[in-house]
């Protein structure tokens, strides 16, 4: 594959358009010579293409995941929504409820092959790891709340910090999108998975953000359909994240935690990105 970017120095020198034509790795995202973007972020790594292909796949076999969608919705999503509404005035109890129930919702990320109820119970062993992940997320959101709203400090803060808080919340969600799958697939602790995910998503951050929006919209639509739509949208959410993780793996974006394995950082043929 050749780079289609314009070689600006040669173009200025010769007075006519000269292309870079550097040889590129099939999974390169940016040219290592001129920095021109390859089609990757518009094709394999595009959130839109990931949704389209995942939805086509999900439509063919969605009945197999209806049981899991029903179980997750009735056992955890609805109770979580009710309890957080009841205790909405108590920050600490609300976060305790989220801490205890959300890991149950994350357990299906451990189902590597089939997103179905049959594999749920056997993967409950991952509950403690997901509990730690949710705790880290809550500490992150707590720090933002204190810094950006003056919570517990009894001080006035600049209103612009509320916008900063919203941006950092959205950024954190985008960064952590592949973390639950990464924890299971690479057998990583939550903190290590978060660090690797942040590094791996340097070039795909916006696509991960768009996937988060797709999941939010899909589940809001599911909830509006008298909650019955959640039976379809919840399993779809797991598949959207897992499939995008697999695309990131295909593009060698994750650094191996095993130092004996060649990684992108120490490999002589490392695929460079644009800094």
CB-based contacts of 136-139 (< 8 A; 24+ apart in sequence): 136/190, 136/191, 136/194, 137/172, 137/176, 138/95, 138/98, 138/99
Distance CA 9, CA 189 (A): 47
Q: What is the pLDDT of residue 70?
A: 94
Q: What is the pLDDT of residue 207?
A: 96
Note the residue count of the chain: 275
What is the mean pLDDT for each group of 10 consecutive residues in the chain (275 residues)? 73 71 83 84 94 93 91 96 96 97 96 84 95 97 94 88 95 96 95 95 95 96 89 95 95 63 36 38
Q: What is the pLDDT of residue 11?
A: 67
């Amino acid at each position: 594959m050749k780079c289609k970017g314009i070689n600006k120095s040669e173009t200025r020198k010769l007075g006519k358009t000269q292309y870079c034509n550097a040889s590129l790795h099939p999974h390169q995202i940016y040219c290592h010579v001129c920095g021109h973007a390859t089609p990757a972020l518009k094709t394999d790594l595009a959130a839109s293409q990931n949704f389209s292909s995942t939805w086509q796949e999900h439509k063919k076999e969605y009945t197999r995941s209806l049981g899991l969608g029903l179980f997750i919705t009735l056992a955890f999503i609805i109770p979580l929504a009710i309890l957080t509404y009841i205790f909405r005035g108590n920050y600490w109890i609300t976060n305790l409820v989220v801490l205890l129930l959300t890991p149950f919702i994350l357990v299906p990320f451990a189902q590597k092959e089939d997103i179905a109820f049959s594999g749920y119970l056997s993967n409950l062993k991952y509950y403690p790891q997901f509990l730690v992940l949710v705790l880290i997320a809550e500490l992150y959101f707590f720090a933002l709340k204190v810094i950006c709203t003056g919570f517990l400090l009894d001080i006035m803060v600049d209103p612009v910090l509320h916008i900063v808080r919203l941006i950092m919340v959205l950024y954190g969600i985008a960064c952590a999108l592949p973390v639950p799958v990464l924890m299971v697939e690479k057998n990583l602790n939550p903190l290590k998975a978060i660090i690797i995910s942040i590094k791996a998503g340097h070039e795909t951050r916006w696509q991960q953000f768009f996937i988060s929006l797709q999941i939010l919209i899909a589940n809001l639509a599911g909830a509006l359909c008298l909650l019955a739509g959640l039976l379809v949208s919840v399993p779809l959410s797991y598949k959207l994240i897992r499939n995008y993780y697999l695309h990131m793996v295909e593009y060698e974006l994750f650094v191996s935690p095993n130092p004996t394995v060649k990684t992108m950082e120490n490999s002589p043929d490392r695929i460079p990105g644009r800094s």
